[in-house]
Amino acid sequence: MLFGSFFAVLGSFITGNGWLGVVFAAVIGAFVGLVYGGAVVSIRANQAVTGTGINILAVGLTALMSRMI
């Protein structure tokens, strides 16, 4: 959710259109879901550990990207 909200704001800022921000959020959310699902299903990773790792990654990357902007 953090990735989605960050990219929604970024997409709205870049394009100047709120609806395109929603599209950005949906695309990023789908991508993160596919990465999570791929890790859990294909390499049989633990769901709790993978979910926690993605959340920690989201906190770090969104903080880094917001400083870069």
pLDDT tens track for 8-48? 999 999 999 999 999 999 999 999 999 999 999 999 999 99
**Largest alpha-carbon pair distance within the chain?**
41
From residue 17, give the alpha-carbon distance in Å to each of 7, 44, 54: 13, 40, 28
Instruction: Count the alpha carbons within 13 Å of 10 in the hemisphere toward its beta carbon.
Output: 17
CA dist., res. 20 & res. 59, Å (int): 23
Domain of 13 in residue numbering reads as 2-68
Give residue 36's pLDDT.
95
| Per-residue pLDDT, 69 | 85
Number of domains in the chain: 1
